Amino acid sequence: MATTSLDTRTYDGGLTRRDVVRWRNALFVVFALSGLAIATWLGRVPTVRDILHASTLEMGFLAGGISVGSIVGVTLSSHVIAAVGAKRAVLGTLLLVAAGMTAAGVCAATGGGFWAILVCMAFFGYGQGTMDVSMNVSAAACERVLGRTVMPLFHASFSLGTMFGAILGAGAEAISMPIWLHMLILAIVLAVAAIIFVPRLQSEDLGHAARDESAPAAVGGWRGRLAVWATPGTIFIGLIVLGMATAEGSANDWLALAMVDGHGVDNAAGTSIFFVFVTAMTIARVAGTPLIDRFGRVLMLRLSAVSAILGLLLVILAPTVPLAIVGVVFWGFGAALGFPVGLSAAADDSRNAAARVSAVATIGYVAFLAVPPLIGFLGQHFGLLHALFMVLVLIVIAGFASGAAREPGRRVPTE
């Protein structure tokens, strides 16, 4: 990287500062759109349950439909990125997400039934899963080019999108806006923004990160993309992402309903408490970014695990709603950094960044596939709040595996 002054700096690939700033800012928008899409749907889950007269277990399977599509998208994403590049993958999947949420809203409003909505959610999930890996691969390349930690800020933008979506969801619930109209308006916003901002992304091959000598050298074709699964580093980083994705995803899928069913609040209040969660995550992602550069990934991941465990215990066991909301804040703080830090760690070696990000995201998305129906099953028999105890186990595992995310070149502290 050649440097003359701040305004005339040139980056890898001949990019100017203006190119990199446009790339970074476009990624902020893309991450926000992804969060907006998810929160828009999740914020209307109580209404969908009422329309379908669905049980807790059935709602778990509906959430599992998103998870099935997501894990298929995540698993195949490295092949999609290899074929068309991250930029085109992001554009195509954003449009697919917009179409899926519109179709689901129409099905819910017109009596299309449980299975029709499930199919729509599977397509929605596939688009989200593929987009998730594609935008994170592009974000990791942008982070490498910039030479400093920015991934949590991209995920903070995702959280801002979920906050805005949660606000809109609460408002739509309060005024009883038809769900089909709500989904259609947001789908148009997604499509227009995608067409404007995605072309500003740059190649995911830019940047030169330190190489992980235990990882296989980049090999052409699908065999090279599968080879990364054989490395212990990939598996342990995947465990971090698995545990912290469960901490985040279980709140996305169940927090609103758990507060309604377990603490007796109404639907609008449940959605508002979900807004508290995503706000806490956003604050932690912004505040945690400079702390990661100062104290390292490992310490911040372990502190995150402690915060998430404390928060979950308060939500589950608190005798009053205000104390449970305090728990939601700690839960949000704890869930904030694990996913972005894990993906940054997976992309440390730029030779296999797309394949490794895809692999650890696939491991993480096991949480989104298996946990929603499992929590639904346990919630049906023991109550949603008690079902959340299983999330604690995976967070503890993530805390113990956090050493795998240590930055290349950062020394292990001596005892």
pLDDT in tens, 235-262: 888 889 888 888 888 887 788 888 888 8
Q: What is the CA radius of gyration of the chain?
A: 20
Tokens representing 255 are: 């927090």
DSSP string covering 204-221, please?
TT---PPP-TTSPPP-SH
Question: Is the model's pTM score more than 0.85?
Answer: no
Inter-residue contact 240 to 402 (CB < 8 Å):
yes
What is the predicted pLDDT for the residue at 312?
Answer: 92
Q: Minimal CA–CA distance to 166: which of 259, 68, 99, 67? A: 259
Inter-residue contact 190 to 33 (CB < 8 Å):
yes
Which residues, given as ranges, of the chain have pLDDT below 50? 1-6, 209-219, 413-415
What is the predicted pLDDT for the residue at 10?
Answer: 67
Tokens representing 397 are: 């595992």
Tokens representing 265 are: 């609040």
Helix (H, G, I), strand (E, B) or coil at 31: helix
Share of residues in the chain with pLDDT > 90 (%): 22
Torsion over CA: 39, 135, 154, 391 (sign): positive
pLDDT digits (tens, 9 = 90+) for 269-300: 887 888 889 889 889 988 988 898 888 889 99
Inter-residue contact 229 to 346 (CB < 8 Å):
no
Inter-residue contact 96 to 127 (CB < 8 Å):
yes
DSSP letter, residue 210: P
Helix (H, G, I), strand (E, B) or coil at 335: helix
Tokens representing 80 are: 């999609």
- Stated length of the chain: 415
CA triplet 243, 141, 31: central angle to 5 degrees?
60
User: E-strand spans in 34-148?
Assistant: none
Cβ atoms within 10 Å, residue 213: 8
Tokens representing 144 are: 């490498």
What is the predicted pLDDT for the residue at 4?
Answer: 44
Inter-residue contact 35 to 159 (CB < 8 Å):
yes
How far apart CA 393 and CA 378 sit, in angstroms, is: 15
What is the predicted pLDDT for the residue at 258?
Answer: 85
What is the predicted pLDDT for the residue at 255?
Answer: 86
Residue found under tokens 């054989």: 230
Residue found under tokens 């309903």: 257
How far apart CA 226 and CA 71 sit, in angstroms, is: 16
Where exactly are the structural domains of the chain?
Answer: 12-205+215-405
DSSP string covering 144-189, please?
HHHTS--HHHHHHHHHHHHHHHHHHHHHHHHHT--HHHHHHHHHHH
Q: Minimal CA–CA distance to 66: which of 35, 105, 94, 38? A: 38
Fold of 12-205+215-405: Growth Hormone; Chain: A; (1.20.1250)
